[in-house]
Amino acid sequence: MSRSFHVAVAGATGAVGVEMLKTLEKRNFPVKSLRLLASSRSAGKEVTFKGETLKVEEMTKDSFKGIDIALFSAGASRTREFGPAAVEAGAVVIDNSSAFRMDPTVPLVVPEVNPEDVKKHHGLIANPNCTTIIMLVALKPLHDLSPIRRIVVSTYQSASGAGALAMQELKDQAGAYLRGEKVEPKVLPHPYAFNLFSHNTTIGDNLYCEEEMKMVNETRKIMHDDRIAVCPTCVRVPVLRSHAESIVIEQERKVSVDEALAALAKAPGVKIVNDTARNYFPMPVDSNEQYDVLVGRVRDDLSCDRGLALFVCGDQLLKGAALNAVQIAELL
């Protein structure tokens, strides 16, 4: 008889929390009981799961008694505050924030890339940053052909990465712009509709922003290779929920386009969209609400003898967050 689990979702009413609940239901995760947790503002809201109406509770340090798996998407400060209490209560915490990603004692896991790392947990497992997840699902099969030594990546990041309020702001601004009204940014620092701008995290002393440095550090940790050099540029674009990335890699040996496509075709979590005749490649509209990372535009890097270029798209709320967390729970 298969085991079922007492599950809690922390941040259950946020954009990622909502997708976590949908994903648990859609993938028929063996939930014995479900506890929905959020801030006091959301306490009392009702959510339907598998036909049953559940009430959202205010998250406290006592919320995790009897819980086996706690899916956290409540932000880094809330995870630092409540995560240790959940672990102490006996739960395994799978956290979507940056709170513990670079803690050497906490596994940072993409199930298609480093599933074996789940076994190393001490009650806490970190979900990587969305851009890193989407990139590495596409790059792992290529890294297996020949180790990747250098990555140059430019991201085209959707509003969902900044949460439900940013998604709503994009919708509101688009309407205002088309009506000829003045656009007033509130959630994000710049006008978002019909615009794009450098990712809005803090710029560090090395002139890279926090989002970019996440890609550098998380890639090396997940791939267990500190020699991988990463040069990222992260940009917000007016798209609702799917991230796109332009990636150029340099490998130890030359991998042909055909060899790369053959490896990608067999890779878990990858769907090839590479119709050169129709000029049809990965697009956010096609990756929205899809589990797979779309990969295409695979071609030789004309500037490097051992290089390949590719373009990828992935649903930020799903593979970039909720789905990856649920897949980790499935590994457990």
Distance separating alpha carbons of residues 330 and 229, to the nearest angstrom? 31
* Chain segment 94-146, per-residue pLDDT in tens: 999 999 999 999 999 999 999 999 999 999 999 999 999 999 999 999 999 99
Rounded to 5°, the CA angle 236-129-229 comes to 90
* Distinct helix (H) and strand (E) counts, the chain: 8, 15
| Boundaries of domain holding 202 | 132-316
Are both 248 and 290 inside the same structural domain?
yes
Q: What is the CATH number of the domain that holds 92?
A: 3.40.50.720
Are both 262 and 159 inside the same structural domain?
yes
Q: Which has the higher per-residue pLDDT, 3 or 274?
A: 274
* Chain segment 51-86, per-residue pLDDT in tens: 999 999 999 999 999 999 999 999 999 999 999 999
pLDDT on residue 328:
98
On the question of pLDDT at 2 being above 80, the answer is no
Classify strands 148-157 and 242-251 as parallel, antiparallel or unpaired. antiparallel
- For the record, the structure tokens of 99 come out as 């709170």
Q: Mean pLDDT, the chain, as a whole number? A: 97
- For the record, the structure tokens of 232 come out as 């990222």
Radius of gyration, alpha carbons of the chain: 20
Are both 155 and 303 inside the same structural domain?
yes
Sheet order of strands, 57-58 included: 57-58, 31-38, 5-10, 69-72, 92-95, 124-126
Phi-psi map region of 307: left, alpha, beta (phi>0 left; psi -120 to 50 alpha) = beta
- What φ, ψ does residue 147 adopt, rounded to 5°? -55, 135
Are both 146 and 287 inside the same structural domain?
yes
Are both 104 and 160 inside the same structural domain?
no
Sign, CA dihedral 15-18-23-26, equals: negative
Cβ atoms of 16 and 322 closer than 8 Å = yes
Residue 270, beta-bridge partner list: 293
Return the active site residues. 130, 243
Q: Which candidate, 73, 71, 110, places its Cα nearest to that of 269?
A: 110
DSSP letters spanning 28-48: T--EEEEEEEE-TTTTT-EEE
Residue 91 is which amino acid? A
* Chain segment 202-246, per-residue pLDDT in tens: 999 999 999 999 999 999 999 999 999 999 999 999 999 999 999
Domain count, the chain: 2
- For the record, the structure tokens of 163 come out as 């949460």
What is the total residue count of the chain? 332
pLDDT on residue 1:
44
Q: What is the CATH number of the domain that holds 236?
A: 3.30.360.10
Are both 65 and 164 inside the same structural domain?
no
The conformation of residue 284, written as its DSSP 8-state character, comes to H
Distance separating alpha carbons of residues 73 and 98, to the nearest angstrom? 10
* Chain segment 286-332, per-residue pLDDT in tens: 999 999 999 999 999 999 999 999 999 999 999 999 999 999 999 99
What lies within 8 Å, CB to CB, of 90 at 6+ separation is: 64, 66, 67, 68
Are both 17 and 74 inside the same structural domain?
yes
- For the record, the structure tokens of 285 come out as 């509209």
pLDDT on residue 52:
94
Are both 307 and 177 inside the same structural domain?
yes
Are both 174 and 247 inside the same structural domain?
yes
Q: Quick check: helix, strand or coil at residue 307?
A: strand
Cβ atoms of 272 and 141 closer than 8 Å = no
Are both 151 and 218 inside the same structural domain?
yes
Residue 211 is which amino acid? E
* Chain segment 18-51, per-residue pLDDT in tens: 999 999 999 999 999 999 999 999 899 999 999 9
Residue 126, beta-bridge partner list: 95, 108
Cβ atoms of 241 and 159 closer than 8 Å = yes
Query: pTM for the full model?
Result: 0.96
Are both 150 and 286 inside the same structural domain?
yes
CB count in 10 Å sphere of residue 122: 11
Are both 45 and 107 inside the same structural domain?
yes
